[in-house]
Amino acid sequence: MPTTTGLAKITDATFADEVLTSSLPVLVDFTADWCPPCRMVAPVLADLARERAGELKVVSLNVDHNPETTAAYSVLSMPTLMLFRGGEPVRSLVGARSKARLVQDLGLA
């Protein structure tokens, strides 16, 4: 179900289907409603999702409502952005950044 940012929301229950078995690379935004930097990066992620549709899937996971996945990937700070390829995490970034910097830091340039 899309959020107001346009990103698909995932949960502990849907994580495996949406992320681990995806044929596309998946960027997971580990976020929280109370997190100001999360709100800052949300439009950047929505832009990235639109621009890279068909080559990159961008989803959002609320850490407060999904403790199993959050703990499984040792997410302690928000926002944490984790790039998955073939069901495995290949990059992890903490904190908000510009779209250009995000693309560069994730190796998507």
- Could you please state the CATH topology (level 3) that the domain comprising 8-104 is classified under: Glutaredoxin (3.40.30)
Whether 11 is a known active-site residue: answer: no
- Give the whole-angstrom CA distance, residue 89 versus residue 28: 10
The pTM of the full predicted model, rounded to 2 decimals, is 0.93
Asked if pLDDT for residue 99 goes beyond 80, the answer is yes
What pLDDT was estimated at residue 5? Answer: 54
> What pLDDT, on the 0 to 100 scale, is given for residue 2?
40
Give me the catalytic one of 35, 81, 83, 96.
35
User: CA 53 → CA 24, 26, 46, 69, 88, distances in Å?
Assistant: 10, 11, 10, 24, 20
38 in active site: yes
Domain ranges of the chain: 8-104
Report the distance separating Cα 29 and Cα 81, nearest Å. 5
Q: Taking Cα atoms as reference points, which of 67, 78, 80 lies closest to residue 27?
A: 80
pLDDT in tens, 5-62: 568 999 999 999 999 999 999 999 999 999 999 999 999 999 999 999 999 999 999 9
